[in-house]
A = this chain, B = another copy of it.
Amino acid sequence: MKHCSSCGSLVIEKIPDGDNRHRWVCDQCNTVHYQNPRIVVGCVPELDGKVLLCRRSIEPRYGYWTVPAGFMELGETMEQGAARETLEEACAEVRIGHLFASVDVVAAGQVHLFFTASLLGDFGVGNESLETALFSEQEIPWAEIAFRSGTFALEKFFEDAGANNGVHMHQVIWKGRQ
């Protein structure tokens, strides 16, 4: 951040009055520009014991497989976001179940939150996917999963075997890969 998004002046990094950490601040119009983590919402759409995965047609991790997931948008709930991402990436309608996995990706400033889901009908291939397919636990291409948060979610999904055991918490530490 270089400029104030309100007035266009150059911002400086300082601790605002009453705060305890450095922020981008505009000394011209006194706006404090807070920056906070973003939420990635996803789900594991299930049908007859198999789960729906998407092979990515976009970077990062082009060509790798992922559960349907993406940045939560303003104007929607977490469940709505997870369902929207599934519609966009796999042209599939789902009924969202319960929240079962949470992954902090601190280096990226992200929290990834995963729901169980029931696949309600057919599925297809969205713009951000090369292909989509249903996999049993044994069929999942574990070495080709795009993100470690997705691997964690899939592992816990099958461990839970349909039960709601609360939210499995995890932290991904970046060491050269996501």
Residues of A at the B interface (CB closer than 8 Å) are: 1-11, 18, 20-21, 33-39, 71-79, 88, 98-100, 102, 104, 106, 109, 111, 127, 164-167, 169, 171
Contact = CB atoms under 8 A, between A and B. Distances in A.
A83 to B, nearest CB: 13
- Say whether chain A's binding surface is mostly helix, strand, loop, or mixed: loop
A26 to B, nearest CB: 10
A76 B39 CA distance: 14
A36 B35 contact: no
B37 A74 contact: yes
A36 B78 contact: no
Contacts of A11: 5
Nearest to A71: B36
B3 A2 contact: no
Given A21-B73, A36-B73, A104-B77, A4 B7 contact: no
Contact of A39 (B2, B10, B36, B79): B36
A78 B8 contact: no
Nearest to A98: B166
A6 B7 contact: no
A7 B11 CA distance: 11
Q: Across chains A and B, which 7 residue pairs bring their CB atoms closest together, nearest first?
A: A3-B8, A77-B104, A164-B166, A99-B167, A8-B8, A1-B5, A36-B38
B104 A102 contact: no
A50 to B, nearest CB: 23
B3 A4 contact: yes
